[in-house]
Amino acid sequence: MGQSIIAKGRTIHDAIRIGLDILGATREQVEIEIIQQETKGILRIGSKPAIVKLTKIDKTEKTAPDIEDMLESIDISEDSKANNPTEEHKEVVSNDDLEGKVWVQNGKILCKTSPLYYPTITVGRGVKLYKNNELVNGTTVVTENDQFEIKTEEEVTETKWNIMIDENKLNATLYIEPGMRKTYTIQDIAPSPHIELNGEEHVEMINDLEYEQVLQELERLNIVHGINHEAIMEAMNVTKAEKFVIASGISPVQGKDGYIELLIDIHSDKKPMIRTDGTADFRELKNIPTVHKGQVIAVVHPPVQGTPGITVTNETILPKQTQPIFVQLGQGVAFVENGTKIVATEMGRPYFEQNGLLVKVSIVPKLIHNGDVDITTGNIRFKGDVEILGSVEDSMSVQAEGNVSILKNVNKANVTAKQSIYIGQNAIGSTIISGNNHIFVSEAAHVLTQIQMQMEKFILSIKQVMNAPAFKVTDFHKKGLLPLIKLLLDHKFRPLLTTIKQYIEMCKRGSNHLDMKWSKLGENLHSCFLSSVPNEWHSLERLNQLLNEIKELLEEYSIPNEQYCSVELMYALNSVIYCSGDVTIYGKGCHHSKIHAGGVLKVNGIVRGGELYARLGAVIKEAGSEGGAPTRISVPADQKIKMDLVREGTIIQIGKIRHTFQKEERWIEAFLDEQEQIIFR
Amino acid sequence: MFSYELIESNEEAVIYFKGDLDIEVTEIIEEQVIPLLKYYKKVDINMSEVFFVDSTGIGLLINLVDTLRNTESGIKVTVSNIHPQVQEVFELIQLKEILGEEVLR
């Protein structure tokens, strides 16, 4: 072999030229081996020179001095001072800059240590760095002797999907969450004493849902009806999680139960005409609709059947079975045209009561009483409406199954109506009761609830005693449960005895107002618990039966009576008014009266003294008195009390929270907040 | 069958009830036991051999205790040695509260 030299240059071309100059040879006389390609760095930083090895092909052999020459020139070339001053200068500068720095180039870690400074690398996301085959955690020091290997991470999630059928099987929904491949690549990093090695994240969405797969799953789920192929196609192309309704059934069309159409307005505007001075003219009251003989009052409509629907699994969804309405005819009405129309056969006020699909229809007769009700006319009891054109005087009583209207006053008298009561003028020292669930019933029901609770425990105790191993039932055939009942009532259930006595007493007092069922129950309770001789009630079976009777009665009571009833009057003094609906006082107001309204209480005047309760809220113009007669207004916890003016000393109660006004206030609206505090607005 | 045995010392008596205290013993209690015990100052009813009771029997016991207590001399009555199973029935009926704690311990 001939002489070899290694030459360096900016480009390979330059390096070769330099080499040939040194060798004094031509290109044909040498063999060229490229050791390193040049690299162009950014602003020459990180650039590398091209290195070539030239070997002279021997023809006329040169001697050793040449080699020395060569070595010299290599030195010269290595130091690169002469030939390419600008470039070489730059390289020196960059070499100085690189001292103690580390950088990344082409996915490789390169560095240049300085005696005083070793560069460091911190491993970031998406990259695993192995230093001399050891995994690096966090930060590591880099020296030129270390071998580094960079591995990038790859995350792959698969496409997720499923098909859900909703509860009614009316829709099948495809939920798709496309898969994803996350890869990282290593970017070049400029030299620096410390670098952070982060992979660059590349995310590729892969939705590999196949049409066939979906069809198979649909088949597996027996979904055959209303498949939306377009939606499936769409689902196959999404790149983010999404839901598609891919099959839908047909909802059934519900039919309609039979119903009754009223041809007359039974709830016509019940308000009296208000005169210009603000008082009401009850003579103009046209609150009671009247029908004549032969008038068609209602049409009975048969039920309409619905159309069935279909589920995605091809099952039929039946519409709800429709029911005909059942009409029970009372007095004064008749069916015509095969029971499709109801005609009045008497004159009077039409009356409808609907409970579910049962409708009771009748014509309520009306009694018109000219003049006052007093000792000369006697009390009035009437199974219909009563209209009194005068007053109801001292200690007289008026009872009606329907409405009662009294054009003048009620003085120290009792007026009871199952429906509404209108009093044209004042109620003084009287008791006015309107509605079915009046005060006696609610009190009796309260006591009965207590009896029910105690009786449940009582029966349980009897069973316990009878199950005790040392207890014999030898006396049952003679005396039944009586001795045991007595023993239990003697001490353990003494309160039950007291409550039952209280109930029986109540039934006696309220016999005029209470339904027969209530007093019958009282009698049964008496036979069972208060009898001193054995009777048929003294068996476990009968005790349970009695308990059931109580439950039934209480349930019946708790069904709200939809029927509208109200009490309207001008002024009340020292009176008791109980109404299961609204109570409205149009005139001056009420003094020292006790009012219980199952609906809304409205007082357009002054409330001075007395106790008022309004289940659905109270609206009062002025409450309280300067004299300080105690005035108490209460509503349940979820209701409001509105007052335009309230005087000192007035007590309001909302739910269980009570408030006494310490000074006069105006425009008050009181209610409870979430912390059960009274709030004023 | 029900029987009883009386052991007396001075003005004090212990009566041992033996057998079931039920409706069958009504006459025995009312016609024999009450007259027999009326003249002591202190009576203890020992129930250790009563294994079964019925409600009439409990009624009889209450009646017996009340009658003796309410005599002119006001006899001090106690009921003792009650069999555990009978005691269970007494507790269900709350006999202790009916008779008073000084009678039934």
CA distance A554 to chain B (A): 29
CA distance A466 to chain B (A): 9
Specify the pLDDT at position A447: 87
Closest CA to A249 of A313, A307, A305: A313
Name which residue leads in pLDDT, A231 or A58: A231
% of residues, chain A, pLDDT over 90: 17
Mean per-residue pLDDT, A119-145: 82
> Are the beta carbons of A431 and A576 closer than 8 angstroms?
yes
Strands A631-635 and A601-614: parallel
A492 to chain B, any CB pair closer than 8 A? The answer is yes
Residue corresponding to tokens 């300080």:
A628
> Are the beta carbons of A357 and A326 closer than 8 angstroms?
yes
Contact between chains at B51 and A470 (C-beta distance less than 8 A)? yes
| Max CA pair span of chain B | 36
Chain B positions in Cβ-Cβ contact with residue A475 (cut-off 8 Å): 22-23, 54-57
Which residue from B minimizes the CA distance to A493?
B93
Select from A469, A483, A491 the Cβ nearest to the Cβ of B55.
A483
* C-alpha to C-alpha distance for A501 and A483, rounded to whole angstroms: 19
Q: What is the pLDDT of residues A607-646, one digit of tens each?
A: 998 999 998 899 999 998 877 678 999 998 888 999 999 9
Q: What is the pLDDT of residues A297-340, one digit of tens each?
A: 888 888 888 888 888 888 888 888 888 888 888 888 888 888 88
Contact between chains at A490 and B58 (C-beta distance less than 8 A)? no
> Are the beta carbons of B8 and B40 closer than 8 angstroms?
yes
Q: What is the pLDDT of residues A49-85, one digit of tens each?
A: 788 888 877 654 444 445 555 554 444 444 444 444 4
Count of other CB atoms within 10 angstroms of residue A194? 12
Dihedral of the alpha carbons of A568, A572, A574, A575, in degrees to the nearest 10:
-10
Contact between chains at A472 and B94 (C-beta distance less than 8 A)? no
Buried b (16+ CB within 10 A) or exposed e, B26-40: eebbeeebbeebeeb
Residue corresponding to tokens 């590398």:
A48
Give CA separation, A671 vs A224, A248, A399, A605, in Å.
57, 49, 37, 21
DSSP H/E element including A88: helix A85-98
Mean per-residue pLDDT, A476-481: 86
Confidence of residue A423 (pLDDT cuts 50, 70, 90): very high
Q: What is the pLDDT of residues A484-532, one digit of tens each?
A: 999 899 888 999 999 999 999 888 877 766 778 888 889 999 999 998 8
Which residue from A minimizes the CA distance to B82?
A470
Chain B positions in Cβ-Cβ contact with residue A492 (cut-off 8 Å): 93-94, 97
* C-alpha to C-alpha distance for B89 and B54, rounded to whole angstroms: 9
Q: Determine which of B53, B54, B85 to mutate to test the interface with A (most A C-beta atoms within 10 Å).
A: B54
> Are the beta carbons of A578 and A438 closer than 8 angstroms?
yes
Mean per-residue pLDDT, A537-564: 80
Cα four-point dihedral sign A324, A330, A336, A342: negative
Chain A positions in Cβ-Cβ contact with residue B29 (cut-off 8 Å): none
CA distance B88 to chain A (A): 7
Specify the pLDDT at position A513: 66
Mean per-residue pLDDT, A350-372: 82
Q: Average per-residue pLDDT in chain A?
A: 82
Q: Residue A451 pLDDT more than 60?
A: yes
Strand partners, A291: A348
Confidence of residue A94 (pLDDT cuts 50, 70, 90): low
Confidence of residue A455 (pLDDT cuts 50, 70, 90): very high
B24 to chain A, any CB pair closer than 8 A? The answer is yes
Chain A positions in Cβ-Cβ contact with residue B51 (cut-off 8 Å): 470
Which residue from A minimizes the CA distance to B26?
A475
Chain A positions in Cβ-Cβ contact with residue B52 (cut-off 8 Å): 470-472
Count of other CB atoms within 10 angstroms of residue A144? 10
Q: What is the pLDDT of residues B81-91, one digit of tens each?
A: 999 999 999 99
Kindly write down the DSSP assignment for every residue of B28-86, as one continuous string: IIIIIIHHHHTT-SEEEEEEEE---B-HHHHHHHHHHHHHHHTSTT--EEEEE---HHH
Contact between chains at B88 and A461 (C-beta distance less than 8 A)? no
Residue A422: HSE in the Cβ half-sphere, 13 Å Cα cutoff: 22
Contact between chains at A486 and B54 (C-beta distance less than 8 A)? no
> Are the beta carbons of A49 and A34 closer than 8 angstroms?
no
Q: What is the pLDDT of residues A239-265, one digit of tens each?
A: 888 888 888 888 888 888 888 888 876
Q: What is the pLDDT of residues A21-47, one digit of tens each?
A: 877 788 888 888 888 887 776 665 667
Q: Residue A410 pLDDT more than 90?
A: yes
Contact between chains at A491 and B20 (C-beta distance less than 8 A)? no
Specify the pLDDT at position A236: 83
Specify the pLDDT at position A273: 56
Specify the pLDDT at position A626: 76
* C-alpha to C-alpha distance for A120 and A89, rounded to whole angstroms: 28
Contact between chains at B59 and A486 (C-beta distance less than 8 A)? yes
Chain A positions in Cβ-Cβ contact with residue B92 (cut-off 8 Å): 461, 464-465, 468
* C-alpha to C-alpha distance for A144 and A222, rounded to whole angstroms: 68
Mean per-residue pLDDT, A143-153: 80
Interface of A with B in 585-644 (CB under 8 A): none
CA distance B19 to chain A (A): 12
Helix (H, G, I), strand (E, B) or coil at A646: strand
Closest CA to A494 of A482, A485, A503: A485
Which residue from B minimizes the CA distance to A469?
B85
> Are the beta carbons of A180 and A157 closer than 8 angstroms?
yes
Q: What is the pLDDT of residues B29-85, one digit of tens each?
A: 989 998 888 888 899 999 999 999 999 999 999 999 999 988 888 889 999 999 999
Contact between chains at B97 and A469 (C-beta distance less than 8 A)? no
Select from A465, A472, A487 the Cβ nearest to the Cβ of B20.
A472
Q: Residue type for A520, please?
A: K
Kindly write down the DSSP assignment for every residue of A4-67, as one continuous string: EEEEEESSHHHHHHHHHHHHT--GGGEEEEEEE--B--BTTBT-B-EEEEEEEPPSS---HHHH
Q: ipTM of the predicted structure?
A: 0.89
A486 to chain B, any CB pair closer than 8 A? The answer is yes
Contact between chains at A491 and B98 (C-beta distance less than 8 A)? yes
Give the phi and the psi of residue A160 in degrees, each rounded to 5.
-110, 140
Q: Determine which of B51, B93, B96 to mutate to test the interface with A (most A C-beta atoms within 10 Å).
A: B93
- For A166-170, A273-277, A447-451, which range has the lowest pLDDT when averaged over its residues? A273-277
Count of A-B CB contacts under 8 Å: 72
DSSP H/E element including A39: none
Interface of A with B in 217-276 (CB under 8 A): none
Specify the pLDDT at position A561: 52
Give the phi and the psi of residue A292 in degrees, each rounded to 5.
-105, 165
Specify the pLDDT at position A64: 46
A490 to chain B, any CB pair closer than 8 A? The answer is yes
Instruction: Please give the structure tokens belonging to residue A311.
Output: 């589920």
Strand partners, A610: A593, A631
* C-alpha to C-alpha distance for A375 and A463, rounded to whole angstroms: 58
> Are the beta carbons of A435 and A579 closer than 8 angstroms?
yes
Q: Residue B2 pLDDT more than 80?
A: yes
In sequence order, what are the residues at sequence separation of 6 or more whose Cβ sits closer than 8 angstroms to the Cβ of residue A514? A440, A441, A444, A507
* C-alpha to C-alpha distance for A124 and A111, rounded to whole angstroms: 19
End-to-end CA distance of chain A: 112
Q: Where are the alpha helices (DSSP H) in A418-539?
A: 439-467, 476-479, 482-490, 494-509, 516-525
Mean per-residue pLDDT, A371-379: 88
> Are the beta carbons of A357 and A338 closer than 8 angstroms?
no
Select from A468, A483, A490 the Cβ nearest to the Cβ of B92.
A468
Confidence of residue A438 (pLDDT cuts 50, 70, 90): low
B48 to chain A, any CB pair closer than 8 A? The answer is no
In sequence order, what are the residues at sequence separation of 6 or more whose Cβ sits closer than 8 angstroms to the Cβ of residue A671? A639, A640, A641, A654, A678, A679, A681
A532 to chain B, any CB pair closer than 8 A? The answer is no
Which residue from A minimizes the CA distance to B61?
A487
Q: Determine which of A464, A466, A474 to mutate to test the interface with B (most B C-beta atoms within 10 Å).
A: A474
**Is residue B73 classed exposed, middle or buried when 0-12, 13-18 and 19+ CB atoms within 10 A define those classes?**
exposed
> Are the beta carbons of A195 and A148 closer than 8 angstroms?
no
Specify the pLDDT at position A544: 92
Chain A positions in Cβ-Cβ contact with residue B49 (cut-off 8 Å): none
Name which residue leads in pLDDT, A105 or A265: A105
Select from B52, B56, B59 the Cβ nearest to the Cβ of A470.
B52
Chain A positions in Cβ-Cβ contact with residue B59 (cut-off 8 Å): 483, 486-487
Closest CA to B82 of B37, B38, B41, B52: B52
pTM above 0.80, yes or no: no
Give the phi and the psi of residue A561 in degrees, each rounded to 5.
-85, 115
